[in-house]
Structure formats: structure tokens, C-alpha cells
Structure 1
């Protein structure tokens, strides 16, 4: 039927051309940079200019795209606190424009998907339905509506052809992942893209997403700090859930007061560590667009497409390792790291050197007050990412076991958001309450 024709793939030629412009643009800038060096400009000046222009083009292209490019852009956005402000600014601007002005699906297509997923009498389920989307995402868009019982609801509808476009974009982005190294020091984008590709099937199944949201909603029902909207109806490509109104976390990052920033950060940390214990799940997409502060002060959580299933809660060895490290017990730290697979078999590393590598990253929980800042994250990114440092050389000898990959990525992403928030709180107290194995 015409209503079911693919929406996203129709722009595949344009997307391909824009993605292809990235390596071509980098080659042109490199040639221009060589000319400037030959003309007498310093290498540092030229390199800084090339890095700035690469960042601007990279962010501008990601900001024009849906599908895999937008998904990667949103994932990377939580790390922008690690790069200088002059390079992060165009990234934030591009993503903001994308969220506000992404081209919507044709209305006929929207109605066609709803009929296919909710049945030919889908209109009878709604008292009102707004054909204009309220928000756009990487694989779908959200419409505001009123359910037949009078509840305001959010209707998340997947783009037809989303799977094809998503994989096509991610495959192309993987081919020139090294370009991202110019903007995000120390961040290897290839494993990040590989993880996104591995989770595509799960994220495209809105039925699984609805089940995860139901589990979160049940775990936090009546909670004084965290609010999860209940699912009203679901299908493989449509989720209807209660509408929640609040201040987006992105706005608090941009203009929030000190009190608002600290509270939002503390609530984000509480969600991260409490959800595995309360719901057996970890919300695995810490992008600021997925959180908002409600008028009653609670933090509303949306979008449960990316979830880590942790039925036994956070792995207990994490808490135990943190204890050893904070107590300065280098031998025990290395022994546990080997047991859990963080050190490759046959690799000989010095226990004290490993502890020295980890301790700066544990500064936020060494005491009962820590202020996350962009400067702190930039310092850690340079310490670990600069190939000239001892920390970088040691880091390359360590390993990230598959069982910890998603937990690590989400933890780093959440820290990135805390740095964007410029949030201060007693983070240690949150771990003492919720992280297994972490002692008071």
C-alpha cells in the first residue's frame, strides 16, 4: 500500500552523499593545513584550526541525519563535556536543530502505521490525535494525543524502513570512525558503533521496549524522586504511554540554577544505581533528551529502547573493586581485575601502576562531596587518551570484558551528562545505598 512505503530510505542517496563528504572534507582540510604550514604558520595553530573545522563538519552532518547517524550523534553527545567548548558548541547546536526541525513522516504514512499496528479502528482508541509530531527521534517520532479515557498520551511511531536506514548509516560511519578521534580524544568509536549495530534489532522492537517500560514503571510506582510513565498500549512499531510534562534536562544544562543542576544530577545518579536493584534493568541511553524534571520535582524518564538486563542487579565485583581501590589495596585490585577478565591473560602489569591509573577516576566517590565539571572530564580524557601518557600506555594493556561493556559505556555516558550539568552531590552515599559490595 502507498501508506506503507518506506520513509527513511527515500533519502538514502542524500544521506550517503552527506556521510561521504566527511572523509573527503578531512582530506581537503589536511591538504590546506599542509599549505598553511609551508607558508609559515605554526603546527599547533594549524592543527587547532583543522580540528575545529573537522568538528564543525562532523557535527553539522550528524545533525542533518536521522537513522544511525542521529543515534550515534546522540550517543556521542553525552561525551561532549570532554572536548573544548569551541568544538562542543556546534555539536549541541546541530542536535538541537535536529530535534526541533527534523522532517516529519507524511500524515498518510503515520495513519497507515497506526492502522497496521493498532487495527483499522485505531481512531476509536483516541479521543484526540495530533497529526503534527511533538518530537523526532532516531528511529521514530512522537505524537501527542488523548486516550479514550481522557488521559494525555505520547504515541511513539516507528519510521517505516527504519531498520534499513539505521544499519546503512552505521555501516558507513564505521568506515571512517577514525575521524571521530580528532574530536573525542581517547574514545574509540568503532566498538561503540559495533554495539549500536548489535542492539539494533532489540531497539526496533517496540514490544520489547514497552515491556521494559512496564517493568520500570512498576518498580518506581509511587516513588518520591523518579517518575516513569505507564504504558497504555503497545505493538511492534507503536508504543502509547502516559504523557509527562516537565523541564527537559537539556534546558537545565543550558540555563538551570545551581540547585536545579545539583538535584537533576543526584536524581540521574540515583536512577543509574537503583534501577538494576529495583527493576533488574539499567536504562542504557543517558542522553539528556530522555529525562525531564517534573513540576513536583521528580525526574521523569522516557525512552526504554536501550536497556541492559541485570536480573541480579549491578555485578557485585564492581563494588568490591571500588572498595579495594579506595582503600589503596593494589594487589587485591589487580587480582580481582584478572578474575573478572579486565587484564588479558599473560599480560604483566604493576599493581600500583594499575591503582594509580584508576584512582583519579574514583575521585567522585572518594569522599562525600564532589563537583562534576567539564574541566575534570577534559582532564581525564587527556590523561587516558593522550598516547604520550603513562595512563594511556597502561590502558591499552587492559581489557573490557563483554559482560561489562554496556555497563561501562552507560556509566561513562552518565558521568558525561553530570559534567554537562556541572552537578555537585554526595555520590558516595548513592553507591553506599544501591551498589552491591560497596561498603559504607
Structure 2
């Protein structure tokens, strides 16, 4: 009999321990403050323990909990500096670390997906996982034709775990909100719920990866591994490895940061126009820098299908903001459903609210920094600021949510890199209408 219900109940209990643990530490901290303890030292200790518990629970659970942690890791650069230290390490570890599943489970899954004689497809198969992610882990092997391959195997019960985790995390959204200042956590969880079904069938991921690999085959800047074989719960692709982007973020030179940032921005803005798809999981764990300078991109379980490239209304809005045309911008925002019914919003308020997101396009090169992103997060997240009222008047229609999140996520990674990026030229190559005279 399946033990999935028992495991699901255990997962729910572990997730529920997060708010209880934070509350307990807060109460203890207040007690020590009353007894004369140093406020800053006590707060730092509380945050460090909360960060470690966050990683321990989300990393152990994998599934939707870890996927949510990976999504949060993109916005690490926006977390205020006094919180960033403890959470930065915990969230970064969530990008590529999770406890492995037992070898017996791996063998069973591969037999279910590729048949009882699955080993005959390989010259060699490494029992130890090379990497672990939210719904599966990766093993290194040698295919029967001698090619080195990466074998991605889904965790048993992944679908039940995803649904259970995301339901529980949705209930905890207010507690987790400080980890993504300026962005509403609940819609992020809702979007992950809506898209997780796509990621559960590795055949869809394989089709996506084949499309990207074909388009970028021979590209001087981007490398996508080719797919060798696929099944609903397992996938085999070329083994390609380089320097993790998280390592460049942690210890790269400025030149290495700038190079990686330019490649990442180029990939993000080119894909919608080159193949009408957008890689929708931009956390650093999905990128590496190869020895030849190309950016290696993996994990195509979540993509956005964009038949017209980036949605034209978003391009026109950006153009109006760049050209300082507040009246035209406000009218377009109303026409496209970006302004909530019954709310007041002036043209100047709309322009001021959107201006920071167009700032990197005003100069030939822009230096992305954590401090810059933190200032933008404070503008939209501070209840005392007038921009917060503007934010409440604005709405993000569902058809734009994914593009908005992925673009913000990419921007967040550029800020983690602290990269100097010629974004105007990169964007202008694929969206020349943005800078054309009107």
C-alpha cells in the first residue's frame, strides 16, 4: 500500500513548524531584550536560526516547498542588508541542494520509465546523484553510444508533494513575505501551482529543451544540452558542465560578473523572438558559465509560450515610459486592465511608479546592484510611501504575470551578480521599436 498519505502528512507538519519556530524564537528574543540583552545581536541570532530552519525544512521536503525556495532565491538581492546575510546563504543552497532519494527508488523509477532492462541503454550509470532539484535529481552516466549524459529522475510522489506543499505555503504567505519585499507572495505561489503540472511530465520538458537546443545550436553565447531520450518521469540529455552561476555571484571578478550578466540578459530577451518561448525558471542554479565563455542553460520544465514575442502592450508601455509620455501610458494601462476598477491614478503617478523598471534602458550600460534593487523594493513595499498607494491601484492581469515574474527574476539575478550590463543595446537588438523615433 502506498505511503504517500503518511509522507504528505509528515511534510505538512514540517512546513507548519516554520511559523511556530519563528514565533517561538521571537518570544524568546523579546524575553532576552527585556532582560537587557543587545537588541541587534539578538535579532541577528533570531534571523540566522530562522534562515537555517527555512533551509532545513524546504530543502528536506523538496517538491513545492523547495521550488518556492528557489523562486525566492531570485529575489535575494532585494532583501534588506540586515536580513540578507543569514537568508542569502540559505536561499542560495536551495538552488541546487536537496537530500538524495535512495538508490532503490532511482532503480524502480528508471525501470518504470525505460523498462526492466534500462541498464542496457547505458555503458555506465553513477549511483550517486550529481545534483538534486525540486522534483527530481540528476545522475551522471555514459549512454550506449559512448556519450556522457545527465539522467534526470523524478522523485516518487512528486505530484502529491507539490500540491500539498504549495497549499500549505499559501497559508504561510504573510510569514514568508519579508523574503520577497515589493512582490506579493500569494500570486507567486498561485502561479507555481498553475504551472507545476507542466513540469511533472518530463516529455514536455524534453520537447521544450529540444526546441531551445535546436535554436541555439552553434550559438556563440548560449549552450543548451541536446536531449537523448525522454519518458514521463525520466529524461536523458547531454552531460555539459561549467562554473555555476552561484559561484560567479559569490566569488567572480567584475569582468566575470559583467560577462555572465550580459549573456543572461541576452538569453532572456532573445528567446521570445528567436523561438517564441521564454525560459521561466531563472534562478542561478539553472545557469553555468562554460570554459569557452558561453552560458549553459538547463531545466526547461517551465516555459512561457509567446507567439508574438514579448506581449506587444508591455513593449508599448515601456516605450511610453522611456519617452516620458504619461498620458499615453495611463490610457494604455487602463485599456489593458492594469488599473483596478474604481481607483484613482494620475498619469504622473503611473509614470513615477514604472520609471525605476525602465531606468536600466536610459543609458548605454547600467550597473545592477543589490542596493539599487533594495531601493526599488522599498519604494513599492513601504506602506508609508505614496508609491504604495499607486501600487495598490495597479493590477497585473493574469496573462502578464509569468513574463513579469521572469523579467523581475532575471533582473534580481543581475543584481546578485552586481553586473555592469549594456542592457539598452541587448534589448534594442530584439525590440528595436522601443528606441525608434515616433
TM category (shorter chain) comes to: over 0.9
**What does 1:394-433 correspond to in 2, within 5 Å?**
394-433=390-429
Structure 1 gap ranges (5+): none
Q: Which residue of 2 aligns with 1:148?
A: 144
Match of 1:298 in 2: 294
Alignment CA distance shift 1:149-1:274 (3 Å): same
SS in 2 for 1:364: helix
1:361 to partner: Cα distance: 2.2
- Out of 193, 196, 200, the position equivalent to 1:197 is 193
1:342-421 to 2 correspondences below 5 Å: 342-421=338-417
1:246 corresponds, among 231, 242, 246, to: 242
CA displacement, residues 211-262 of structure 1 (integer Å, 9 cap, x when unaligned): 1001111111111111111111111111111111211101100111111100
Match of 1:233 in 2: 229
Aligned-residue offset at 1:58: 3.2
- Are positions 1:182 and 2:178 aligned together? yes
Task: State the TM-score, normalizing by the size of structure 2.
Answer: 0.93
Going from structure 1 to structure 2, the CA distance change for 1:46 and 1:252 (only over 3 Å counts) comes to closer
Cα distance, 1:385 vs structure 2: 0.3
SS at match of 1:143: strand
**Per-residue CA shift, 1:72-96, capped at 9, x if unaligned?**
0000000010113453333343355
TM-score, length basis structure 1: 0.92
Q: How big is the shift at 1:303?
A: 0.3
CA distance in 2, matches of 1:306, 1:373: 27
Q: 1:192-227: CA deviations, max 9, x gaps?
A: 111111112111011110010011111111111111
Residue ranges of structure 2 left out of the alignment (5+ in a row): none
**Could you say what secondary structure the match of 1:232 adopts?**
strand
Q: Distance in 1 between matches of 2:409 and 2:100?
A: 28
More moved, 53-62 vs 387-396: 53-62
Please give the root-mean-square deviation of Cα atoms over the aligned residues, in Å.
2.4
The CA distance in 2 between the partners of 1:317 and 1:32, in whole Å, is 51
Q: Distance in 2 between matches of 1:255 and 1:68?
A: 29
C-alpha separation in 1, matches of 2:351 and 2:36:
44
Q: Matches of 1:390 and 1:96 in 2, distance apart?
A: 33
Give how far 1:419 is off.
Answer: 0.4
Q: Which of residues 125, 128, 138 in structure 2 aligns to 1:132?
A: 128
Contact 2:64 2:163 in 1 (8 A): yes
Question: How many aligned residue pairs are there?
Answer: 436
Do the aligned partners of residues 335 and 433 (structure 1) sit closer, same or farther apart at CA in structure 2, a change above 3 Å counting?
A: same
CA distance in 1, matches of 2:97, 2:280: 26
Within 5 A, what are the aligned runs for 1:272-287?
272-287=268-283
Q: Closer, same or farther in 2 for the Cα pair 1:65/1:128, shift >3 Å? A: same
- Structure 1 residues 329 and 150 mapped into 2: Cα distance closer, same or farther (>3 Å)? same
Alpha carbons of structure 1 residues 127 and 422: separation in structure 2 relative to 1, 3 Å: same
1:29 Cα deviation (Å)?
3.8
Alignment CA distance shift 1:98-1:107 (3 Å):
same
Match of 1:224 among 220, 238, 243: 220
Paired residue for 1:260?
256
1:310 aligns with 2:306: yes
- Residue 51 to residue 116, structure 1, CA distance change in 2 (3 Å): closer
> Is this contact kept in 2: 1:213–1:304, CA < 8 A?
yes
Bigger mean CA offset, 117-126 vs 196-205: 117-126
